[in-house]
Amino acid sequence: MTSTTREEVPVALSDEGIDVRTQEIGGGMSVMFMRLSKGTDLGPVLKGMPDDLCQCPHWGFLAKGRVRLRTKQGEETYEAGQAFYWAPGHAPEALEDSEFMEFSPTKELGEVLAHAKAQLG
């Protein structure tokens, strides 16, 4: 069995309003702990990906805040206390200071994070 805490997981991406920590936990899956400050929109760092949207699926839990998720089909809002599945093709925006934990395929997550880092320069 593998377990970890947010504090034990290395920082993968950090910028104004964004703190992302991720670590592979086995079975080709990674855990990601994310904090977004109110008003942080991840859309700009996703520009250049197909449809300018994240192409990695995420299964997770929103522990704090509210997040609007934009997709080609429209928008949905998620609130603290909700478990979720975000299919490929989304861009999150923090409507409040937000914290969530996700499980994602390591390969796809790595591709998205590398793209986001390149966009941030």
Please name the residues in contact with 53: beta carbons below 8 A apart, sequence gap of 6 or more.
Answer: 46, 70, 71, 72, 88, 89, 90, 91
Asked if residues 47 and 23 have their Cβ atoms less than 8 Å apart, the reply is no
Q: How confident is the model at residue 115 (pLDDT cuts 50, 70, 90)?
A: very high
pLDDT digits (tens, 9 = 90+) for 42-85: 999 999 999 999 999 999 999 999 999 999 999 999 999 999 99
Distance between CA atoms of residues 48 and 50, nearest Å: 6
Domain covering 13-101: architecture: Sandwich (2.60)
